[in-house]
Amino acid sequence: MRQTVHDFIAIGLGPFNLSLACLAEPVDGLDGVFLEQRAGFDWHPGMLLEGAGMQTPFLADLVTLADPTSRFSFLNYLKQQGRLYPFYIRENFFALRAEFNDYCQWAARQLPTLYFHRRVERVRWHNGVYRLSVRHGEESETWQARRLVLGTGTQPALPPCCEGQGERVVHSADYLANKLRLQMQPSITVLGSGQSAAEIYLDLLRDIDRYGYRLDWITRSPRFFPLEYTKLTLEMTSPDYIDYFHALTGSRRDRLIDSQDGLYKGINRALIDRIYEVLYQKRLQGIDRIRLLTNTSLNDCRAGRDGLTLTLTQTEQQQTFRLDTASLVAATGYAYRPPAWLSGIERRLRRDDRGRLDLTRDYAVDVTGREVFVQNVGLHTHGLATPDLGMACYRNTCLLRALTGREIYPVETRIAFQTFGVPSELLPQGHACP
């Protein structure tokens, strides 16, 4: 057993915890380690399509918005790779997704605090210390810390009727590994209308004449919504809006999130334009094996000898129909699934009336509000800024302040021009907004 009791242990290594590792690295007197069960850092490898770009500008890297002087910045990565001038001449504010993944791997290689091949199996708390039972190959290790940062992230989610249907159903997270097999089928259906669905559809559409498959794209949304990316909307990913959103009641927050899909789940406008251009070209070539169906919800999915039978409903016409397809790519997003080992400290966790982790404003979920923190699970408490890579540095500056008791990097409090609630000076004396 390791005798060291670390200041904190972070579990899971996606971009958010990797950002925390980079920002924590130069902090004197802070002893934190990061445990990851995979062999190395790899960010959505199944979606690293050629030419696919990020939806956040390159300034939203691992460190810059907290510390522009950090050696872990994206611009320093480009300089070290000899690509700073080509990136400058390219005049594109958005890095390629594969480029961002390579940048993260470059940063990870420089951090001695990262430990891979470590799978957490159990967590216990005793006398102010969290004790972790960790599997490392055939060996069992024990790690100890006073605080935890949970970054285990979200997992691919399939519609219930699609689960257990075998290899004919592929989640978008596994697209690239299955792409060639999919293209050997006579028909492919893409389900979903977010960025991932659009990227996969375009990728398959470009090759439709080469392989000859029929290609359908289905969404239950009324249309293929563009991601709203106007300046005042972007202010909703700000400390100001988080303050406002977090102070609302839980039921109001839930209703609000349900109405905001287009603010963080839509398709990049440039990508929609590219898809239309390719559709135009394919139609000009006489290719008509293409359908795009909106207002169409999936009711059932059944595997047969030759493929899948999808039972669908056109929700505006209230017409139910069937579609036969050889394979289905489900770009149906991700969901948070609490790791099994979390049960070992369940009594120390705060939950809301729906059983979800109840985050404080500073991202703590334990009963003291000072010991267990989370990354990317607070959509219901902190709003649409939660999954936004552009807010990673802000959240981590808050976490570092909580972990150290001092402000390591300036924590922004007001950056928006908008005032999201009633201005305090306009409220009747003695009243406060709920």
Per-residue pLDDT of the chain (434 residues; tens, 9 = 90+): 567 999 999 999 999 999 999 999 999 999 999 999 999 999 999 999 998 999 899 999 999 999 999 999 999 999 999 999 999 999 999 999 999 999 999 999 999 999 999 999 999 999 999 999 999 999 999 999 999 999 998 899 999 999 999 899 999 999 999 999 999 999 999 999 999 999 999 999 999 999 999 999 999 999 998 888 889 988 999 999 999 999 999 999 999 998 887 777 789 999 999 999 999 999 999 999 999 999 999 999 999 888 999 999 999 999 999 999 999 999 999 988 899 999 999 999 999 999 999 999 999 999 999 999 999 899 999 998 999 999 999 999 999 999 999 999 999 988 999 999 998 888 887 565 55
Q: How much is the pLDDT for 433? A: 57
Same topology for domains 5-155+335-404 and 158-227+265-330, yes or no?
yes
Residue 10: closest CA among 103, 121, 146, 125: 146
Question: Are 407 and 394 contacting, i.e. CB atoms less than 8 angstroms apart?
Answer: no
pLDDT for the residue numbered 306: 87
Length of the chain as a residue count = 434
- Strand bridging mode 372-374 / 148-150: parallel
48, 71 in Cβ contact below 8 A? no
> CA 311 to CA 259: how far, in whole Å?
27
Domain 158-227+265-330 falls under CATH 3.50.50.60: yes
Classify residue 35 as exposed, middle or buried by CB count within 10 Å of its CB (0-12, 13-18, 19+). Answer: buried
Q: Which structure tokens are listed for 202?
A: 């375009």
Residue 234 burial (CB count, 10 A): 14
State how beta strands 148-150 and 296-303 pair: unpaired
d(CA 78, CA 26): 21
Dist CA 301 CA 191 (whole Å): 12
Q: How far apart are CA 5 and CA 128, in angstroms?
A: 11
Query: Rounded to an integer, what distance in angstroms lies between the CA atom of residue 121 and that of residue 391?
Result: 30
Residue owning tokens 């009641």: 249
Token couple for 316: 């505006």
pLDDT of residue 170: 97
The pLDDT of residue 287: 93
Provide the residue ranges of all domains of the chain, joining segments of one domain with +: 5-155+335-404, 158-227+265-330
- The fold for domain 5-155+335-404 equals FAD/NAD(P)-binding domain (3.50.50)
What pTM value is reported for the model? 0.93
Pairing of strands 319-325, 308-314: antiparallel
Distance (Å) of CA 223 to CA 216, 220, 268: 15, 8, 14
Residues 6+ apart with CB under 8 A from 331: 171, 172, 190, 191, 192, 194, 196, 197, 200
